[in-house]
Homo-oligomer: A and B are copies of this chain.
């Protein structure tokens, strides 16, 4: 069998495990107040060219999104995002559980269109009854998106300008940010992200760590009292050093981006093979996730030797499917799958 279900099917990158083993018996204080966390924070600040940024480590993506969004919004405000956004579709209503509405605009290849965001906010305040409606209090984007697509630097800049024109923060969900930075289509840097977004997070769970997401806020006044908020959301990790050690390793020698390069190139190889065989690409992705619309019989045949996910309910004749590569995917797995096509 080969495995393309997701990019969180293995433990951690071997180097990360090595560091966890090496430090396992050290006695270290909890809750992220240890020197490993401090070192990891400094490495991330350096990588972001943001020496004063707030950096905080959390465990998983949903809890990170909810905690940051709750920290950024005032009570009467909602978060504006694409209708395909993870927070809108796949987080079991976690944002609403914290009391905030998710406001949606149609996705274009998984992305929000800055001009549509601008129009939405402008129209919102032009409606005489706007005080009866949920004010858009921030913008949420994912990079890469849930469909593997990328915002270009120009698009990010435009989105950032729209947000700041309307005086609301821009938040970027970087659950798979490493695959964006490792994409051949990437025309931005981590410092660009840190500069254009008020808050973002660097995803570790899907990019080499056992678990862990690093919230970064260059404008740290956007997230005052973040520590008790994290605790209140049940998101404070007792043995903070485990997060610190992992992120320290990931941001040493650029491991973060380096380990994401191969999965991206393998995913593109896969896409090219599928399109060469005449299969439909659902969305054109330059990162480690690929989406195809396949006839059901092809799906059934491939499933005999490869594991991958249906994207939504099975259709009558054909269904959208997702193939994902990770740092642990090997070229021979991809070749074997292509062979079976």
How many A residues face the partner with a CB closer than 8 A? 86
The residue that A25 contacts in the complex, of B71, B74, B133, B328, with Cβ under 8 A, is: B328
* A234 CA / B95 CA spacing, docked (Å): 10
The answer to whether B237 touches A211, judged by C-beta atoms less than 8 angstroms apart, is yes
The smallest beta-carbon distance between A142 and chain B, in angstroms, is: 16
Q: Does A168 contact B (CB under 8 A)?
A: no
Known interface pairs A60-B234, A239-B211. Does A90 touch B129 (Cβ–Cβ under 8 Å)?
Answer: yes
Q: Does A39 contact B (CB under 8 A)?
A: no
Which A residues between 7 and 23 are near B, CB-CB below 8 angstroms? 8-12, 14, 17, 20-21, 23
The answer to whether A12 touches B29, judged by C-beta atoms less than 8 angstroms apart, is no
Given contacts A21-B21, A131-B231, 19 further A-B contacts (CB under 8 A): A8-B239, A11-B20, A11-B23, A11-B25, A11-B239, A17-B24, A27-B328, A59-B237, A60-B238, A71-B75, A76-B225, A78-B93, A90-B132, A92-B232, A96-B96, A123-B312, A123-B313, A127-B313, A234-B234
Q: Which 8 A-B pairs have the closest CB atoms?
A: A63-B234, A11-B24, A92-B231, A126-B313, A3-B27, A76-B228, A92-B232, A93-B101
Show 15 residue pairs from A and B whose CB-CB distance is below 8 angstroms, ordered by the A residue.
Answer: A11-B20, A11-B26, A29-B307, A60-B234, A74-B225, A76-B225, A89-B133, A92-B228, A93-B100, A97-B99, A97-B233, A99-B99, A128-B309, A129-B309, A131-B227
Q: What residues of chain A have their CB less than 8 Å away from a CB belonging to chain B?
A: 1, 3, 5-6, 8-12, 14, 17, 20-21, 23-30, 59-67, 70-71, 74-76, 78, 89-94, 96-102, 123, 126-129, 131-135, 205-206, 210-211, 224-225, 227-229, 231-239, 241-242, 307, 309-310, 312-314, 328
